[in-house]
Structures are given as C-alpha cells and as structure tokens.
A and B are shown apart, each in its own frame.
Chain A
Amino acid sequence: MTRSKNANDVSVRIKSESSLLPSQQLSDEILAARVVQGDSAALEALYDRHASIVLGVLLKVIGDRALAEDALQETFWRVWKSASSYEPQRGSFTGWLFRIARNLAIDAHRRVNVRPQVLGNADDMDSLADRTPDPDKDVPEQAQADLRNRQVRSALAALPRVQRLVIEMAYFYGMTRQEIAEATGEALGTIHTRARLGLQKLREELDREDFEG
C-alpha cells in the first residue's frame, strides 16, 4: 500500500516537475522515471551529471582506461534498459547507479586482476586541479560535485589506514571478509572490528563535513 502510494507520489511529481523544468534541473529520481518512459534526453542528463564520478570508480577498480570507458557505457546502457527496476522508495538513484557500476567494475577487475589502490592518497588528492571541465555540465552542478568529492576525501583521510583498507577492499574490489583476512594476515574478528569502526568513523566524519549525498 505504501509502495503504491509512493509510486503515485512519484508519478504526480513527474507530471508537475517534468513539464515545467529543463532536464538539468530535475532530480535524479524524476529523470530515472522519465527514462522508464523511454526518454533518452533524461538518460543523457543523468549521464552528464554522473558519468565522471562513475568513470572514476570504474577506473580505480579496473585500472585500464579503455576497459573502464566500456564499462561506463555498459553501466548507463543498463540504466536505460532496466530503469524500471529502480525503486525510489528503497534508496537514492545514485546508490542504485553506483551498485551497477561497482558490480561491472568488480567483474572486470577479476578478469584483469589489478592491484587495489587506497583512496585518499596524496597522488589522488591533486586530481581536482588538473581535471578538464565538462562543457555539458552546468557550473553549480560541477561545483556541487567538487564539494562532495572534497568532503568524502577529507572524511576518508581521517580514517585509520587499516580501517579504510578493509572498507575499500570490500566495497571497491568485492573481497569477502575471509578474503580480506587472508590478504592482510589478520584474524577474521579483527577485520569485523575494523569494518564496523571504520563505517562508524566515516559516518561521523561525513557529518562533520556536512556531507549531503
């Protein structure tokens, strides 16, 4: 019942918002609903908004630019083909999008077997300055993306390295807790503790940064 009501709410919002605003000003969730209706302009708007962050994730995990670009295209192709399976009441669109990208990245990573890199290193930190701006992105959207990037990097940098490593091995490389324990030579209990404390600490740091996902 609740789900049906939520779906109706979304439908009403689509009609009221999408008829008045250009794609760039619509929320991800509204754009996703328009993709379900076969609106390729909505898909393009979502691509322009999120492709660089998705490619960042793909490249970090896969380690090969050409393969990462292929996976990026496949990610948004899957958004196009299966947008109807996204349910706004179960979470944000970006959460759903990143899960698609992450799964593709992990599959590709297992094929090419690239060594994991840890986020928040100094060599990653200089990325914002040398990045070429995307002409398809509007300035406030770009500024918002840059702000989020700085906030999360700062929060991650505040984590003890061992906790950050466990989180990244699990999230970006899909390693199970047993695989992480084996790879790090630590006891399984230690890996559990690091994951739990790491996520708690990350939440605190994100709140301190006023991060809004």
Chain B
Amino acid sequence: MDKQIEELLPFYVLGALTDEEREQVETYLRAHPEARAQLDEMSKTVSALPYGTKPVEPARRTKNALMARIAVDERARAPKADQPFRRGVRGENIIRTFTLGIATLAIVWVMILNSQIGRLRSEISNLNNALIAQSNELQQINAKLPQTPLPETVTISLKGTDVRPQAQGQLIADPNSQSAVLVISGLAKLQPGKTYQVWLIDGGGPKSAGLLAVDANGQGVLIVTSELSIGSFQALGISVEPNGGSKQPTGDIVVLSDI
C-alpha cells in the first residue's frame, strides 16, 4: 500500500482528515479495492469507541419533545384524504355491467352455498364494525392534532419564572401555522380546583391557548391553537387558574418566554 495513504488511513476511519486528504484516500480506494479489507477492519474497531463512553440516561422531556416533533412531521407527511374519486360515465356503465354479471353469479353461488355466504357476511359485518370503530377513533385523534400540515417547524425553548424555575419545555411550531405542540416539564402538581392555562401574548395582551394537564411527574403536552399564526405572537406564558380557565391570567405565572 502507498506509504502516505497508509498514514492517512487511521485518520480516515477516525473521521479526522481534511476534505482534501479524504478525497485523496477515497480516490486511492477506488483504484485499489483490495485496500478495503484493511479499511473495514479499522472501521469496525473505531465503531466500538462510543461504547467506551459513560452512558447517560436522557431526560424524559428529550424523548417527549422528539416524539412530539415527529408526530407533527407525520401529520405534515400524511396524504390528503379528501381527493374526490372521479370516473367517466362510460367507465360507470362498464362497471355496472360487470357488477350485474357478478351479481347473477353471486345469486347462483348463494343458492348453492347459502349457509357459507351467510357466515362470511356475518364475519364481514363484524370486521366492518371494527373498522368503523377504529376509523372514528382515528378521527378523534386527528381532531386533536393541528389541522394544517406543517412543512417547516422550529423548536423554541421555554423557561420557568422565579415562581417555578424548575419548569422548562419546548414549543414546536411552524411560525405560519395556527397550531403548535407544547411540551413542558418541571411543573408542580396543583391543588384541586386549579389548572394550568397557556397564553399566547402579543401587543394586544394575552390570549388563551388552552388548558394544560400535567401528569404526576410534572410533565404535560398540549396542542396549542390560535386564531392568528403562532409567529405573530411575542411570548408564551403559563399561569395557574381556577378550573375551567380564565379570560385573562389571574394566578401565578410559572412559565414566560419570548417566542
């Protein structure tokens, strides 16, 4: 092997060459595929290095924020379901004729195997019911998600006020959209009769963006909605309010951050 390439190879697998040096090695490897074996062996060794670091369990909120971000992206990727189904009149006639033929055959078939068909119909009916139930459930879930696909999202860090400095979270949003995902942690469990309320704040003052439920670990996720685009607001706040929420913040403000 070329002496200079031999010197560069360890740094190539360690990912520590300049662009020019890396190109030099790759050109050599293209011309000398036999050198791949040595390279693969070194790569295998280097890929073990991360296992030698001290593993650290991530904070729960990191995973929550990631999965919320992915949920928003999935929503944006989903194909639109309201495309009209179109077909020509001639096509309809062909289908009708074909359907009639099938129906005639089906009647004969029903006369011969009536009991089996009945059983199959019953199974199909059950499956249809299950499908309808799942479809309804999906619609309910979709209704809770942002209604507008979000092609580009940004993540905004949120911090607690002096009242609740442990509070922190993220707002994941397309600034042009009217909805966003709020992921928050470090909030205190509230006394009965109290709730957290989220506010979007612009020059006209705070506007309610929904009530936030928090679990026993002080974590909560909320789909924030607004009549105006999220990017038109200057700040986001969370306050403690009586159950059912208030028209304006009345209690302690536990989170307040510029967005």
- The chain A residues found within 8 Å of chain B, CB to CB, are 38, 40, 43-44, 47, 51-57, 59-60, 68-69, 72-73, 76-77, 80-81, 91-92, 94-95, 98-99, 101-103, 119-120, 124, 127, 131-134, 145, 148-149, 151-153, 155-156, 167-172, 174-177, 180, 192, 195-196, 198-199, 202-203, 206, 211, 213
Q: Which residues of B from 172 to 228 have beta carbons under 8 Å from A?
A: none
A56 and B56: CB pair below 8 A? yes
Closest Cβ–Cβ distance, residue A32 to chain B (whole Å): 15
Q: A47-B66, A53-B53, A167-B14 in contact; A152/B58 too (CB < 8 A)?
A: no
Whether B47 is near chain A, meaning CB under 8 Å from some CB there, is yes
* CB-defined contacts of A80 to chain B, threshold 8 Å: 70, 73
Whether B141 is near chain A, meaning CB under 8 Å from some CB there, is no
- In the assembly, what is the distance between CA of A177 and CA of B10, in Å? 10
- In the assembly, what is the distance between CA of A150 and CA of B51, in Å? 8
Q: Which 3 A-B pairs have the closest CB atoms?
A: A170-B16, A152-B52, A56-B53
Complex partner residue of B45 from A55, A101, A119, A206, CB under 8 angstroms: A206
A69 and B50: CB pair below 8 A? no
Q: A59-B56, A102-B15, A199-B46 in contact; A44/B51 too (CB < 8 A)?
A: no
Across chains A and B, the number of contacting residue pairs, with CB separation under 8 Å, is 153
Q: A40-B71, A134-B57, A203-B45 in contact; A195/B50 too (CB < 8 A)?
A: no
Q: Which residues of B from 3 to 58 have beta carbons under 8 Å from A?
A: 6-7, 10-11, 13-18, 41-58
A52 and B56: CB pair below 8 A? yes
| Number of chain B residues close to chain A: CB under 8 A | 40
- In the assembly, what is the distance between CA of A195 and CA of B17, in Å? 13
- The chain B residues found within 8 Å of chain A, CB to CB, are 6-7, 10-11, 13-18, 41-59, 62-63, 65-67, 69-71, 73-74, 77
A145 and B43: CB pair below 8 A? no
Complex partner residue of B18 from A56, A68, A120, A176, CB under 8 angstroms: A176
B71 closest partner in A (C-beta): A40
